[in-house]
Amino acid sequence: MIPSAYPPATEIARLTARMLLEIKAVHFNADEPFTLASGLPSPTYIDCRKLISYPRIRSTLMDFLTVTVLRDAGFETFDNIAGGETAGIPFAALVAERMGLPMTYVRKKPKGYGRNARIEGAMTEGERVLLVEDLTTDGGSKLSFVDAIRETGATCGHTAVIFYYGIFPDTLKTLGDHGVALHYLCTWWDVLAEARAQEAFDPATLDAVESFLRDPRAWQAARG
């Protein structure tokens, strides 16, 4: 069922950040930085996959994601909801249920046997597809999923995520140049503000995180 309440985007961002902190999906550690998929260090790490284990939070965030997409993209804009393997699959299913639309998912690469398909489920030429993922950093990983969708003859001009890093300036341009608009619930800045409000971490840690967020590339370069 499509949610009927439409909180302002600022309140959605604050509440999303609060929920992520509540389930300890947010990790800050400047002394022993995490290693990102890119191989670069970061004092921040977020695990949106944990959300599937918290039904009340999961349901609320999927309501938020659905109304955000409908508000920003339109009510009759999509014919199919596709999840990116693997983290996007459960969230795509939940959004598709709310929108009353078919759900598919996109493999990271062909499975190497059988039909050698990247798209699982029914996706047809001309369908307008929304790509759903858990998060995006610089937007690059979304492009392969979008291309796989477009290879079926369907279109994909929108992607929706729960969490957007919001610290790499070229992200929106990378997606935009590929004809894709990004919809999201909150960023690291929202999480940092809520973490300060809750005193969820010590001030020194939060200051170190803010230093990273203001210039992540310089922070990473200083640490090899």
> What does the pLDDT look like over 109-157, one tens digit per residue?
887 665 668 999 999 999 999 999 999 988 888 999 999 999 999 999 9
Q: Is residue 220 part of a domain?
A: no
> Number of structural domains, the chain?
1
In the Cβ-directed half-sphere of 136, how many Cα atoms lie within 13 Å?
Answer: 29
In the Cβ-directed half-sphere of 6, how many Cα atoms lie within 13 Å?
Answer: 8
**Residue range 88-110: average pLDDT?**
96
Q: Is residue 25 part of a domain?
A: yes
6-11: long-range contacts at Cβ-Cβ below 8 A with a sequence spacing of 24 or more? Answer: 6/67, 6/71, 7/64, 7/67, 9/68
Q: Is residue 3 part of a domain?
A: no
Residue 33 gets which letter from DSSP?
P
What is the extent of the structural domain holding 88? 9-215
Structure tokens, 6: 């439409």
The CATH number covering residue 186 comes to 3.40.50.2020
How far apart are the C-alpha atoms of 202 and 195, rounded to whole Å? 10
Residue 62 gets which letter from DSSP?
H
Q: Is residue 223 part of a domain?
A: no
pLDDT value at position 121?
95
Element (H, E) at 36: none
* pLDDT reading at 4 higher than 80: no
pLDDT value at position 224?
66
Phi, psi of 219 (to 5 degrees): -60, -45
* pLDDT reading at 67 higher than 90: yes
- pLDDT for 206-219, tens place per residue? 999 999 999 998 98
pLDDT value at position 114?
58
Measured in residues, the chain has a length of 224
Rounding to the nearest 10 degrees, give the CA dihedral for residues 187, 193, 199, 204.
90
- pLDDT for 142-198, tens place per residue? 999 999 999 999 999 999 999 999 998 899 999 999 999 999 999 999 999 999 999
218-223: long-range contacts at Cβ-Cβ below 8 A with a sequence spacing of 24 or more? Answer: 219/43, 220/40, 220/41, 220/42, 223/33, 223/41
* pLDDT reading at 1 higher than 80: no
* pLDDT reading at 3 higher than 80: no
Q: Is residue 1 part of a domain?
A: no
How far apart are the C-alpha atoms of 35 and 43, rounded to whole Å? 9
Q: What is the pTM of this model?
A: 0.94
Higher pLDDT, 131 or 3: 131
Question: pLDDT grade, residue 35 (50/70/90)?
Answer: confident
As a whole number, the mean pLDDT across the chain is 93
Q: Within the chain, where are the H helices?
A: 9-22, 55-73, 88-99, 140-150, 171-177, 188-198, 203-214, 216-222
